[in-house]
Amino acid sequence: MGPRRSAASSCGRLLLPLLLLLGASGFFQSYAVEVDIKDASNATCLYADWMMRFLIKYESNNGDYKTTTLNLSSSVTHNGSVCGNDTQAALVAVQFGEGHSWSINITKNNETYQGDFITLTYNTNDTAVFPDAKRKGPITVLVRDPSRPIQLNTVFVCHNSFVIEAENTTQIFWNVTMQAFVQNGTVSKKESRCPADTPTSAPTVPPTIANVTTASATTLSPAPTTAPKPVENPDTGNYSLKSGNKTCFLATVGLQLNVSQEKPLLININPKTTVADGACGNTTATLKLNDGNSTLIGFTFAVKNTSASVQKFYLREVNVTLLNRLNGSVISSADNSNLSKWDAFLGSSYMCRKEQTLQINENVQVHTFNLWIQPFLVEANKFATAEECIADSDLNFLIPIAVGVALGFLIILVFISYIIGRRKSRTGYQSV
């Protein structure tokens, strides 16, 4: 066992309030955690400095589901943190607020170290955060750390925010500096940056945004005007989920968000930077899309019985969270759990090529394009026969009508030409 850090030891300095961030429900204080774990010789063996926040979905007393924000308090302890060694995992553990805690264990493997499991425990008895929670008491969420291995004697750095989602929770981290198994008591100057910090050829301001502008009514002499550049439809992405080695969820869709605020936003979801996650089940299935760690969209499907022998699936819920990529603050958060859209017979798929609009709340809409989705009973990694939306059916119905009308006009024109031709022929005979 490695040395355990006591409350009186020099394992960490006081928590310092860093930023006053704007969240979905107003202003709140966020705190940085700095932990400096010492070994038996009082040398640093594990160092971590980071900021984090949690979005938690819970059921209220009246049966509705709400999303709340859990922040670190100004008083944080770190009991149970250990250095680790070749045979024992290192552990960073913090406790805060009214019975909440978070920890990560870190394992060493030859020339690298890597986060293994992240454990979040939140206590719904904290009425300030969960004022009307139906379920009372501590709830623990365990998730694997998706980060890649880090070379020994290298410090992991991530300034931009990144998220980890699991079991109705979204864990948001930013301004992270961490090194496990520190050598010679000195934190390395060699850095390993997270993907969110990696420069790309595209602009770093996320994501594709169109600002809606208005003209001033007091302008005396109008300036030359140019037509606003239309926002292009989003690219279509292909997403899938697996259960073991078997594909259990298929989705093809282009997504666009419309967020009403002081400066309305139109956001096209870029499938090239979007990661799909979620869960498949017999009666519910969830697809979670993370677009470059700044836009989170979740689609939840359910199965319903339309008769004793007939079952259908339908879209029951959509939730959207927009994050500030630089500091992890919530720009906007919306949820609608009372939808009844995209229904089709179980064992088939649902298709709608035309644009559809999902109203999430009064300020957020999700627009879909070229949608084809199957959340249940996927076979051989292929979509089953599709049930098309009414808009596409109307289009398919109108096409043969339009073709028939065109053929009718063509027949009439040919007939008129024939009559005129016969009359001219008769006139020619009489003149002879």
Q: What is the CATH number of the domain that holds 246?
A: 2.40.160.110
132 and 250 part of one domain: no
260 and 157 part of one domain: no
Looking at the structure of the chain, the number of domains it has is: 2
91 and 189 part of one domain: yes
Asked, for residue 26, whether it belongs to a domain, the answer is no
Query: What is the per-residue pLDDT across 119-153, written as a single tens digit (0 to 9) for each?
Result: 999 999 999 999 999 999 999 999 988 888 999 99
88 and 163 part of one domain: yes
Q: What is the pLDDT of residue 263?
A: 74
Residue 127, helix vs strand vs coil: coil
Rounded-to-integer distance, Cα 147 and Cα 151, Å: 12
Strand partners, 127: none
Cα-flanking dihedrals φ and ψ of residue 18, to 5°?
Answer: -105, -55
Phi-psi region of 387 (alpha: psi -120 to 50; beta: other; left: phi over 0): beta
254 and 159 part of one domain: no
Asked, for residue 219, whether it belongs to a domain, the answer is no
184 and 326 part of one domain: no
Instruction: Say how far residue 285 (Cα) sits from the centre of its chain.
Output: 15
**Contact 241/251 with Cβ under 8 angstroms?**
no
Nearest to 94 by CA among 136, 114, 134, 122: 122
Q: Which residues contact 380 (CB under 8 A, 6 or more apart)?
A: none
Residue 175's domain comprises 32-197
Asked, for residue 6, whether it belongs to a domain, the answer is no
- The length of the chain is 432
Residue type, position 38, single letter: K
**Contact 116/107 with Cβ under 8 angstroms?**
yes
408 token code pair: 């009718």
Q: Which residues contact 39 (CB under 8 A, 6 or more apart)?
A: 2, 3, 45, 83, 185
Lowest mean pLDDT among 83-87, 149-153, 378-382, 420-424: 420-424
> What rounded mean pLDDT belongs to the chain?
80
Q: Torsion angle, CA of 264/268/270/271, rounded to 10 degrees?
A: 130
**Contact 274/291 with Cβ under 8 angstroms?**
yes
Average pLDDT of 63-80? 86
Residue 273, helix vs strand vs coil: helix
Query: What is the per-residue pLDDT across 194-222, written as a single tens digit (0 to 9) for each?
Result: 888 876 434 333 333 333 333 333 333 44
Strand partners, 358: 366
**Contact 136/125 with Cβ under 8 angstroms?**
yes
275 and 193 part of one domain: no
Query: What is the per-residue pLDDT across 240-266, written as a single tens digit (0 to 9) for each?
Result: 998 888 999 999 999 999 988 777 788
Rounded-to-integer distance, Cα 268 and Cα 250, Å: 20
Phi-psi region of 99 (alpha: psi -120 to 50; beta: other; left: phi over 0): left
373 and 294 part of one domain: yes
**Contact 376/346 with Cβ under 8 angstroms?**
yes
Lowest mean pLDDT among 10-19, 41-50, 107-116, 416-425: 10-19
Rounded-to-integer distance, Cα 235 and Cα 227, Å: 23
Asked, for residue 355, whether it belongs to a domain, the answer is yes
284 and 385 part of one domain: yes
Last residue of a domain, one of 131, 166, 197: 197
Q: Which residue has the higher pLDDT, 25 or 235?
A: 235
- Tell me the percentage of the chain whose pLDDT exceeds 90: 45
Strand partners, 92: 104
176 and 280 part of one domain: no
Q: What is the pLDDT of residue 152?
A: 94
Strand partners, 396: none
* 162: confidence class by pLDDT, cuts 50, 70, 90: confident
Asked, for residue 93, whether it belongs to a domain, the answer is yes
Lowest mean pLDDT among 67-76, 205-214, 366-375: 205-214
Q: What is the pLDDT of residue 405?
A: 66
191 and 302 part of one domain: no
271 and 173 part of one domain: no
Would the pLDDT of 9 be above 80? no
Q: Which residues contact 349 (CB under 8 A, 6 or more apart)?
A: 250, 372, 373, 374, 383, 384, 385, 386, 387
Asked, for residue 78, whether it belongs to a domain, the answer is yes
299 token code pair: 């689609």
Q: What is the pLDDT of residue 214?
A: 32
Rounded-to-integer distance, Cα 2 and Cα 22, Å: 40
Asked, for residue 381, whether it belongs to a domain, the answer is yes
Asked, for residue 64, whether it belongs to a domain, the answer is yes
Query: What is the per-residue pLDDT across 316-351, written as a single tens digit (0 to 9) for each?
Result: 999 998 887 666 677 778 899 899 999 999 999 999
Parallel, antiparallel or unpaired: strands 349-352 and 386-388: parallel
